[in-house]
Amino acid sequence: MSALLEVRDLKVRYGGNLALSVGALSLGHGEIIGVVGGNGAGKSTLVNAVAGWSRGAPRVEGSVQLGGRDISALPTHRRVREGLLLVPEGKLIFGTMTVEENLAEGIDDPGEGRKPYSVEEIYALFPRLAERRGHLGSQLSGGERQMLGIGRALRLAPRALLLDEPSIGLAPKLVRTVLQSVSDLRAHGLSVLLVEQNVKAAIEVVDRVLLLERGQVVLEGTAAEMRNNPRIAEAYLGAQRA
Ligand SMILES: Nc1ncnc2c1ncn2[C@@H]1O[C@H](COP(=O)(O)OP(=O)(O)OP(=O)(O)O)[C@@H](O)[C@H]1O
């Protein structure tokens, strides 16, 4: 089966410094890949470059294909129209609007059999948001904001979601709730690239894992392989068990 998202020879430089170099990355239809690694490993740089978005002005080389179409030259908003949605760290929600208002905006005519999630479907995925539908974005907890950020992306009929650290700052119980909801998206045929520092929690919900170190993929495998990999167990799972 052909991949939904294909990345080839991706290189990102900030100034003269090579921050990321990824030879090949394929995300299948309905697949969830966890991108893990320590601080500064290049995880955000990877998903930002795939989305065509950045905080600074990096130089980006390489190709990104979505559904067989080369989207490397498209600006972020055009990639969004194609169905590639980034939910960045820090989310993109409106603090002065209610949950319901934040979710109001959908996409007209996304085409190619794509269908935006309805607000009710998002409430079914995140019942917590339904309970908070009248609350302002600024009044939400970190976990609720994260759910709302994902919900807003789902309103735009994504084919692939790029999630940057959805569990950051959340209590352990909420981490599992949010990641379980991400896992549930697979049943809807959605593909997800999930950046996570919480390797132990991520490995429970993803199909495959990429370990980044200093901007390079140093280890790659199925979740089961990675769970049993001594390097992962020692550096990430053991440390988090302590
Ligand atoms: N806008 C920028 N300008 C210059 N260097 C940057 C910029 N953004 C990131 N970098 C550098 O690129 C490297 C990768 O950073 P990146 O934010 O992708 O890492 P990360 O794995 O997401 O880390 P964290 O888990 O701490 O968020 C780091 O060395 C970082 O300092």
Spans of all domains in the chain: 5-241
Homologous superfamily in CATH for domain 5-241? P-loop containing nucleotide triphosphate hydrolases (3.40.50.300)
Instruction: Tell me the best of 21, 39, 44 to mutate to test the pocket of ligand 1, counting ligand atoms within 8 Å of each CB and taking the most.
Output: 44
Say how many Å lie between the CA of residue 134 and the centre of ligand 1: 36
Atom of ligand 1 nearest to the CA of 57: 1
Instruction: Tell me the best of 13, 14, 54 to mutate to test the pocket of ligand 1, counting ligand atoms within 8 Å of each CB and taking the most.
Output: 14
Coil, helix or strand for 182?
Answer: helix
Asked if 233 and 200 count as a contact pair (C-beta separation under 8 A), the reply is no
Q: pTM here? A: 0.92
Q: What six digits make up the tokens of 217?
A: 């993929």
Q: Degrees (nearest 5) of the Cα angle 106, 108, 114? A: 85
- Out of 48-52, 54-58, 104-108, 171-175, the most confident range is 48-52
Say how many Å lie between the CA of residue 240 and the centre of ligand 1: 23
Q: Across all residues in the chain, what is the average pLDDT? A: 90
Residue 20 main-chain phi, psi, to 5 deg: -150, 135
Q: Average the pLDDT over 45-56 and give the result.
A: 90
